[in-house]
Amino acid sequence: MIPRLLFEGPVRLAIVLVVAVFLLIVIWSRVRSRATGRMVGAGIAAIPLLLAVNHLVVTPREALIELCGKLAGLVDEGQGSAVAAYLSDDFEAGGLDRDAFIDRLEDRLKRFRVDDPRLSGFDVSLPTPNDGLAEFDVACSIRSVDAFLDRVLTRWKLTFRRRGDRWRVVRIDAVPTPFSPFRDLRRWID
């Protein structure tokens, strides 16, 4: 909990720091000693320092969320071939290997336009230091020559493996949800 507070979510950290400094000021206003005055000064000085550390340190969890955002951005831009750079050599999705998946993705992105994907509801876990799972919701619009679907809600599960200092996607699965038109990835890419 403490590492997530210190290194992820600057808003949460800023709120905790402001509350802590406020409490120090309250204590100082009642006691008025040099020690409490120094504590208030140290607390105020710690705010920008800890926020800078929070900004500079990228945790594995943050790296996976950022990578999911990059992939969604590439799909939004219609750059299916660029997605290949983030896939592992042993990638599998919907019964397709890496090359077949990229070919199918490029074909689908020529026929359908995915607009403004918004990712939320992340559930990220790291079973081992080099393996990660990210499950998240995506809301987007999908349009083609024949149809327009506004606010399509889907849920995805991506499996990652770290190679050196880079994370690669090993597997993509569509997670069935009540409002999703896609029950599995195979239906989406067929």
User: What is the model's pLDDT at position 188?
Assistant: 62
Q: Give the Cα separation of 25 and 13 in Å (integer).
A: 18
Per-residue pLDDT reduced to its tens digit, 37-52: 888 888 888 888 888 8
Q: Name the 3-class secondary structure at 145.
A: coil
- pLDDT of residue 27 exceeding 70, the answer is yes
Residues in a beta bridge with 114: 142
User: What is the model's pLDDT at position 5?
Assistant: 58
User: What is the model's pLDDT at position 185?
Assistant: 64
- pLDDT of residue 118 exceeding 80, the answer is yes
Higher pLDDT, 115 or 190: 115
- Give the DSSP letter of residue 119: E
If one counts every other C-beta atom within 10 angstroms of the C-beta of residue 163, the result is 11
pTM comes to 0.77
